[in-house]
Amino acid sequence: KQLVRHLRNHQILQRAFSSTDKKITTELYSAEYKESKIYQYFCYVEFKESDEFFWVTFSSQPSYMKKNFKMLESIIDSFEIEKGGEK
């Protein structure tokens, strides 16, 4: 909450991508913090066959995010929950 007070020019750039076994809600924000531009990526992941969920947040410089965005989506989509001690 403290960080949000210091952000300027905060705007949503992108939302959502899909997955077969998860409902993934995402928002990518652009903002300025201490004279630098940053991207913040928030993901809320719900598993369709379970009540399990988790949050993922990632902040970086825009150049890194643009270069690695597909990799981040792939990592998020690869998460699985354990069922009975097995993945």
**Which residues on adjacent β-strands are paired with residue 40?**
29, 59
Q: What is the pTM of this model?
A: 0.66
With a cut of 70, list the residues of the chain below it in pLDDT: 1-19, 84-87
- 3-state DSSP assignment of residue 4: helix
Instruction: Give the residue from 56, 59, 86, 87 showing the smallest Cα distance to 74.
Output: 56
Residue 67: what pLDDT? 92
Give the per-residue pLDDT at 2: 45
pLDDT at position 84, please? 64
The pLDDT score that the predictor gives to residue 35 is 81
